[in-house]
C-alpha cells in the first residue's frame, strides 16, 4: 500500500485512556474523543418551514432505459479496458433509481466530533452553506448530470475500547440520527447512515437501523476498514469484508425496498486497499439496490488516482465513488485538493462524491 494512502495511529493508545473514543475514518490518521461541548451534536437542528419538496424528489415514472444506457456510457468516459460499464450495471434498476441519472455530493462525519469530517466540524447552517458551494462546482463541471446533496452520517462508529459487550463499536443514539434527518430536510438532501462494525458484524448492526432505512431518502454505507475479523483492535490494522458481507447487506436492502414499495436503495462500500474487499467478483447486484464502490484513500493526486484505478476501476462492481479530504489531501507541501473536473476525468467517472 502506498505511503500516502496509509493511515497513522500514533495517538491511538493514548486516546484510549481518555474514555469514550470515536475513531475517525482511517484516512484521517488519528482518533478523536467525544466533543460534548458541540451544540450541533446535542440539539436537533431547527427545521425549515418550506417542506413542500421533502423528501428529496426521486426519479419518477417508468425507467428510461435509453437514457440509462446513455448515462452508463457517459460514466465509462471512454474506458477501453472493457470493464466499464460494469456488468453489474447492465441489469436495469427498478423505477425511482437515482443512479446514474443524478450525481450525489455528500458531506461526511459525526455530530460528536469536529475531526471526523466536515459534517460535524461546523454548525449546521454553516456546514450546509459550504455544501451548497461544492454542489455548484460539481454542477458546473458536468452540466449534463443533475447534482443532488447528501449528508453521510457515521451512525455506528468503531471504538478504541471494547465497551460493555466487547464489540469495539458505538451505536449513535437515535436522537442523533433524527438530528441529521432534520438538518438534511433543510436542503432536501439524501441521508446515508454509515456503519463501522468493529468486532460486531453487518448481520447484527444493519437491522437495527431498519426504521430509518424504510424511509425512501435514507441510504446506507458500510466501512470494511473497521470490520475487525482478525481480532485486532480498530485502528491498529485495516479491516476487511468479503463479498458475502456485501451480499448480506444488499439482500437486506433489496428485501426492505421490495416489501415497502421503496425506490432502489444505494449502498456505498468504502475501499482504499485490495484486502478491504475480498472476492469482489462474487458481489451480487439487485434491481432494488445500487452499489457504489467508494475510493476513500487520502494523499496527493497521483496516489489517489492510482488507488482509484487499482481498487475501484480495475475491480468493477456497479457504480463508483471518490472521496476528497479537506485537510488530509493537502498535508504535504505540494499536495492540493482535486477539482471536480480532475475527478470526473477518471475512467470510469465517479457518480458519488464524498467530502470529509
138 within a domain of the structure (yes/no) = yes
Which domain CATH number covers 136? 3.20.20
Q: What's the rounded Cα separation, in Å, for the pair 70 and 121?
A: 38
This prediction has a pTM of 0.86
Q: Does residue 105 contact residue 321 with C-beta atoms inside 8 Å? A: no
Q: What percent of the chain has pLDDT over 70?
A: 83
Give the pLDDT confidence score for residue 4 in this predicted structure.
34
pLDDT at residue 203 in the model: 98
180: its cell numbers: 441529521
Of 206, 205, 157, 153, nearest to 180 (Cα)? 153
**Does some domain include residue 70?**
no
Residue-range definition of the domain harbouring residue 142: 87-355
Rg of the chain on CA atoms, in Å:
19
Kindly state the cell numbers that stand for 341.
473536473
| Total domains, the chain | 1
Q: Please choose, from the candidates 264, 261, 242, the residue with its C-alpha nearest in 3D space to the C-alpha of residue 253.
A: 264
Chain segment 232-261, per-residue pLDDT in tens: 999 999 999 999 999 999 999 999 999 999
Q: What is the pLDDT of residues 208-220, one digit of tens each?
A: 999 999 999 999 9
Least reliable range by pLDDT among 6-10, 192-196, 275-279, 298-302:
6-10
Q: Is residue 135 part of a domain?
A: yes
Give 79's Cβ-side CA count (13 Å radius): 22
- The runs of H, that is alpha helices, within 168-228 are 174-185, 202-205, 210-213
Task: Report the alpha-carbon distance of residue 209 to residue 187 in Å, rounded.
Answer: 23
Q: Is residue 175 part of a domain?
A: yes
Name every residue whose Cβ is closer than 8 Å to that of residue 292 and which is 6 or more positions away in sequence. 99, 266, 267, 268, 269, 318, 319, 320, 321, 351, 352
CB-facing half-sphere around the CA of 126: CA atoms within 13 A: 6
C-alpha separations of 138 from 99, 134, 201 in Å: 16, 6, 35
> Does any domain span residue 60?
no
Q: Does any domain span residue 239?
A: yes
For 38-94, how does the pLDDT look when each residue is reduced to its tens digit (9 = 90+)? 333 333 333 333 343 455 656 567 899 999 999 999 999 999 999 999 998 888 999
The verdict on residue 152 lying in a domain is yes
Rounded to whole angstroms, the Cα distance separating 277 from 223 reads 10
Using 50, 70 and 90 to split pLDDT, how confident is the model at 183? very high
131 within domain boundaries: yes
d(CA 347, CA 352): 14
pLDDT, average across residues 320-332? 92
- The mean pLDDT of the chain is 86
Amino acid at each position: 500500500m502506498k505511503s500516502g494512502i496509509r493511515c497513522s495511529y500514533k495517538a491511538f493508545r493514548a486516546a484510549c485512556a481518555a474514555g469514550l473514543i470515536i475513531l475517525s475514518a482511517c484516512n484521517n490518521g488519528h482518533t478523536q474523543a467525544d466533543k460534548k461541548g458541540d451544540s450541533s451534536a446535542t440539539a436537533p437542528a431547527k427545521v425549515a418551514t418550506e417542506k413542500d419538496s421533502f423528501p428529496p424528489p426521486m426519479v419518477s415514472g417508468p425507467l428510461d432505459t435509453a437514457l440509462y444506457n446513455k448515462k452508463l456510457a457517459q460514466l465509462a468516459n471512454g474506458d477501453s479496458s472493457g470493464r466499464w460499464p460494469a456488468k453489474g450495471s447492465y441489469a436495469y434498476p427498478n423505477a425511482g433509481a437515482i443512479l446514474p441519472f443524478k450525481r450525489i455530493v455528500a458531506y461526511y462525519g459525526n455530530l460528536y466530533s469536529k475531526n471526523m469530517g466536515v459534517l460535524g466540524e461546523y454548525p449546521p447552517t454553516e456546514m450546509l452553506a459550504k455544501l451548497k458551494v461544492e454542489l455548484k462546482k460539481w454542477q458546473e463541471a458536468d452540466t449534463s448530470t443533475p447534482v443532488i446533496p447528501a449528508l453521510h452520517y457515521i451512525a455506528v462508529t468503531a471504538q478504541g475500547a471494547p465497551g460493555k459487550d466487547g464489540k469495539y463499536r458505538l451505536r449513535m443514539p437515535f436522537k442523533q440520527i433524527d438530528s441529521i434527518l432534520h438538518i438534511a430536510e433543510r436542503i432536501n438532501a439524501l441521508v446515508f447512515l454509515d456503519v463501522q462494525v468493529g468486532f460486531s458484524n453487518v448481520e447484527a448492526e444493519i437491522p437495527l437501523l431498519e426504521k430509518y432505512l424504510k424511509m425512501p431518502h435514507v441510504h446506507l454505507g458500510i466501512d470494511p476498514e473497521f470490520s475487525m475479523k482478525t481480532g485486532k483492535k480498530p485502528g491498529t490494522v485495516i479491516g476487511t469484508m468479503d463479498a458475502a458481507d456485501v451480499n448480506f447487506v444488499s439482500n437486506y436492502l433489496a428485501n426492505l425496498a421490495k416489501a415497502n414499495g421503496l425506490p432502489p436503495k444505494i449502498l456505498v462500500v468504502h475501499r482504499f486497499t485490495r484486502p478491504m474487499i475480498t472476492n469482489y467478483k462474487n458481489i451480487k447486484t439487485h434491481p432494488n439496490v445500487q452499489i457504489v464502490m467508494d475510493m476513500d484513500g487520502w494523499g496527493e493526486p497521483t496516489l489517489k488516482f492510482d488507488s482509484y484505478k487499482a481498487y475501484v476501476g480495475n475491480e468493477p462492481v456497479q457504480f463508483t465513488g471518490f472521496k476528497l479530504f479537506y485537510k488530509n489531501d493537502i498535508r504535504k507541501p505540494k499536495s492540493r485538493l482535486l477539482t471536480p473536473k480532475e475527478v470526473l476525468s477518471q475512467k470510469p467517472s465517479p457518480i458519488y462524491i464524498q467530502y470529509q
